[in-house]
Amino acid sequence: MEQAGQTGTTYTPVLAIFAVAFLMSLATSFAYMPGVNLINIVELFVAYSMTILAIQKLRDLYTFSNSFITYDLLAMRHIRYAYIYPFAEAFAGIGMLASISGFIVGPVSLFIGTVGAISVFKAVYIDKRELKCACVGGDSNVPLGFVSLTENLFMIGAGAWMLYSAL
């Protein structure tokens, strides 16, 4: 008996997460802010995206970690980082939602985003490796590449913005 399921690579899980995170950010912004505040919507979008992506990784931490260590430069050297990463991502996303000081949450987001961006850039654009992204958990068929790099750049931008805003 055949099972229905995804075969081949797909961006569907990431697009679904980003679409829902965007709609959640719009809904939250409209519910609690007068008028349209683009900066607030972007901040909420990044926070919701990071939190939802962290949940996906935490669903099966072992499978995520085994996928993550194939390309993340820090996780390759220190496997514990692969297990800490989803918690750090959730902490940063939830911290953004709670408006916790940028000096607490900002450095975490900046650090994990920078390590991730460098790792993805090296694996995909320098080493030309074709890997699956661990961004939505370790069992996905999302290819490592532009979307993964964009996720990390969002975290870098959010971390820098939080540090700037805390000054």
**Residue pLDDT, tens place only, 71-112:** 999 999 999 999 999 999 999 999 999 988 789 999 999 999
**Is 122 inside any structural domain?**
yes
Cβ-based neighbours of 63, under 8 Å, separated by 6 or more:
137, 138, 139
The answer, yes or no, to whether residue 129 has pLDDT greater than 80, is yes
CA of residue 101 relative to chain centroid, distance: 20
Task: Give the H/E segment covering residue 5.
Answer: none
**Is 6 inside any structural domain?**
no
Q: Number of folded domains in the chain?
A: 1
Model confidence band, residue 10 (pLDDT cutoffs 50, 70, 90): confident
What token pair was written down for 97? 């939602």
Comparison of pLDDT for 3 and 63, the residue scoring more: 63
Q: Which percentage of the chain shows pLDDT scores above 70?
A: 96
The pTM for the full model equals 0.91
**Is 2 inside any structural domain?**
no
Mean pLDDT across 55-81 = 96
> Comparing C-alpha atoms, which of 161, 158, 131, 146 is closest to residue 68?
131
**Is 116 inside any structural domain?**
yes
**Is 4 inside any structural domain?**
no
Residue 93 belongs to domain spanning: 12-166
**Is 5 inside any structural domain?**
no
Give the separation between CA 84 and CA 82, rounded to whole angstroms: 6
